[in-house]
Amino acid sequence: MIAVIKGDIISSRKITDQEKWLLPLKELLSSWGTSPLDWELVWGDFFQLQISNPEEALQKAFEIKALIKKIEPIDEYKKKSTIDVRMSIGLGDKSYSGTRISESNGSAFIHAGEKFDLLKKENVTIGIKSPWTDFDKEINLYLKLAGKFMDNWSVLAAELVEIVLKSPNATQEEIGNALGIKQSAVSGRWNRANIDELLEVERVYREKINILMK
């Protein structure tokens, strides 16, 4: 079993300087695999990522979310505009391996595509589809609720989330040193970003998927 993330950058074409989000996203995806075999970015703002360990899929999706939300672009009118990312996670098998991820196939790819097509209709920016209906129902409820605060992360909140996800054992004091702020400021941002709730959703997902895969 593998996981596949399909995503696109919301409102990316309103941004004159595409490299603000494009280069950091490519760098992050490159840290997880090689292109175009493991990931690919096409049509300017659509990407696809294959993950060999499905239990890591949600954390990686959250890292992508934080990366995009921390970018503060300027549009052609010199006004601040926010961008976001829409992602589906598909869990399943890989029945065919192409030379590019866009040529590969299997239920993981089908599930990711089917869920991605429903995201706009469901008015959510992240969702999951797997072989387990009850699992999907529960996790998608958590993701819908988490989306209420994730979609509203400020640049500062997203910066903090990114650090926490990449360095889960770091103390708030260590995080403060990395950001150049006091521990009390880290605590305030932590609460505003709902990091405890985010980590709990990721933990529940990881625990349940490991049980199901056994």
**Residue 29 phi, psi dihedral angles, 5° rounding:** -60, -35
State the pLDDT confidence band at 83, using cuts at 50, 70 and 90: confident
In 46-100 the beta strands, taken as DSSP E runs, fall at: 46-51, 84-92
* CA dist., res. 93 & res. 111, Å (int): 10
The mean-pLDDT minimum among 47-56, 59-68, 148-157 falls in: 148-157
pLDDT tens for 23-54 read: 999 999 999 999 999 999 987 789 999 999 99
Q: CA of 189: how far to CAs of 120, 161, 195, in Å?
A: 29, 9, 9
- Is the pTM higher than 0.85? The answer reads yes
State the pLDDT confidence band at 176, using cuts at 50, 70 and 90: very high
**With contact defined as beta carbons under 8 Å apart, do 90 and 3 qualify?**
yes
* CA dist., res. 54 & res. 205, Å (int): 10
pLDDT tens for 94-113 read: 999 999 999 999 999 999 99
In 69-132 the beta strands, taken as DSSP E runs, fall at: 84-92, 126-129
Partnered with residue 127 across adjacent β-strands are: 88
